[in-house]
Structure 1
Amino acid sequence: MARKMETIHDLIEEGKTRALVWLICILSLAYFLSLTSKWVWLNIPISFLIISVLRYLSLEVEIHRRGPTICQPSYLSYLQSRQLSPHDPLLFLARDKMKWKRNIDSPVVEVAVDEFTHKIVQEFVTDLWYSSITPDQEVPEQIRLLINDVIGEISQRVRHINLIDLLTRDMVDLIGSHLELYRRNQARIGVHVMGTLSSEERDERLKHCLAAAKELHPALISPEDEYKVLKRLMGGVVAVVLRPQEAQCPIVRCLAQELLACVVMQPIMNFASPGLASDEFCHSACMLLG
């Protein structure tokens, strides 16, 4: 109650102050007007009107200077505007399940590929580690569809290859260029010297000779360079296989690129090495004989 009385008292005091200021302004203006007019009592209402108009204009200028009042939305309204609908595409991992089949266009091959990828995902993903984390089956299914898309893309590209030109022109030119490169570097090293070297020493001499002539493939310079080449090549594969929204995600793109380069392609390239292949063959033979 005391607080309310203080507020009323402050309002009364403010009213008195404003009334006194208005009275002083009106009388002052009326006095200046009386210097040019003999009607003193008429100058008082004229002064009141002039001061009222000036006060109104000053308020208008102040309002325009402040600009329109913008109502700031609440955080709850912001959340409601950002809320996704139950049928929003972002909530679903929609992938075209028939795309890879259209690329292959062979029912027998489609069934074989589907069974093959299902067994791979079941053994190396679901049973190996994913089932121990969650009973979910959506991620293995998406991985299987992604592998199918890769196989379908490869199948489509293979179907567009002209086998006649590939076997009679491209392969012949490729083999001929490699043989010519080998003969040229063999002549630089020396035919008799090459005959006295072991296979490892011969490969090393050829590597140095090709590097000196700047004809060595970048992937053969060092293991790090091989990794960089594979990573760059797999980046192109990922860009073709992944959907646009997936390829634009840096984490998904980098993870897929690294997995393809390090987990898939590097073991294949190592297995294609003659030394490793012979070691694997000897190991398998010993296991069979033992």
Structure 2
Amino acid sequence: MFYIIGLGLCDEKDITVRGLEEEFYGKELILADRDMVETESDDILRNADKEDVSLLVVGDPFGATTHTDIILRARALKIPTRVIHNASIMNAVGACGLQLYNFGQTVSLVFFTDTWKPDSFYDRIKENADLGMHTLVLLDIKVKEQSEENLARGRKIYEPPRYMSIPQAVSQLIEIEEQRQTGILSPETTLAIAVSRVGGGEGNERIVCGTLAELSTQPNQVFGQPLHSLVIVGKRLHHLEAEYAETFAVNPKTWRETAKTVYGCDFE
């Protein structure tokens, strides 16, 4: 049997009871980075038709298309499969006060370089915005990355891990808005919510909200430790959503005024 077991949001204590029942604790663990999962799936699946093999993943197993692919490969090999779900940022983002059914497409934002600034995310955000939906933006991480020189020379030397910060993400969003000029990411009138380590418990989880302009001027430490995500608030914002999130606002007065005048929230 081939198992994919979600580990949840924070650490090994987040495992579900059903996950614990698979008794993987005490077993030999092999660190499988993204490259291994994507390119060495045959090795991972080897002998899974004769013995139990478990792939442990952060969050929920279906939070990444890579895991869907490996399940399809297992099925093609006639290997029985079982998925054990857990919490992920896709549902835990509701901690910011916005209702999950008001979210549209999730997008990823990668680190810009001097020569590469992909902006397809903007089109997805606009599609959501046109429907009044919120957008969850997942910020880029660089782990086990090689420099261009080391990659070209075939040297297995990796760069230090990098995690995109909220101010950097907002800066990139505003940069593309200045090019597109549709107004969906207008810095002064677009509300957004930054979340960090959701599910990490008191003292670890961090939620900060405000206009894009306000978030862009906050020091990195305000947003807590990575991993970070950002929510672009949609115009269907309900007053209860706005009131809940106001608790985390950089400037509650600006947050409420923008929600009222720009988003049409009818506070009672």
Q: What TM-score do you get using the length of structure 2 for normalisation?
A: 0.20
Larger RCO of the pair (alpha carbons < 8 Å, separation 6+): 2
Comparing both structures, which one devotes a greater share of its residues to strand?
2
Larger Rg: 1
Comparing both structures, which one devotes a greater share of its residues to helix?
1
Q: What TM-score do you get using the length of structure 1 for normalisation?
A: 0.19
